[in-house]
Chain A
């Protein structure tokens, strides 16, 4: 059962370009949504939470579409330092048993 699905990529994007990822989730009762960033051989770190109304943090914009059960991440004016794996993460409703992680989308920003 694939609860959270992402395109694994890699996405090869020139520096300065805009790139967007989508992620779909299967549990319609999911309550909270996040994007985590993971650098090579490092731990995942929270990039941003995803609110129902959409939210923006600098060059990063996250959107939630509950009707279609997907979330998106948009990165504008991409930097070399944005190269990483981006994990879509969903908190299932009700339980304490942690987060459900997508397998991640690998982004490579090219100079």
Chain B
């Protein structure tokens, strides 16, 4: 069964600190892995997209890693800001027959950055 699991479920950190969010997946056949940021009451916004051959990708203070062998990914946030408070969703794309992709969503990690 295609599944994406994220940890921790929620996290509280102080402004300026770093944090790392984890994502484990059992998806086959794997196409790509994405990290999204979702503010409360808003749609998800893409942070990074990584294919099988990529093991790290950065977007400003966000750095994602991918280990396709162990089927694990992480999202590292550097020097956190209050505006980083949101849910971070790990999404794995599975390749279906006919060349189409289907997105499998994790439940997300709810990050709260406190002053």
A binds B: no
B residues neighboring A (CB under 8 Å): none
Residues on A facing B (Cβ under 8 Å): none
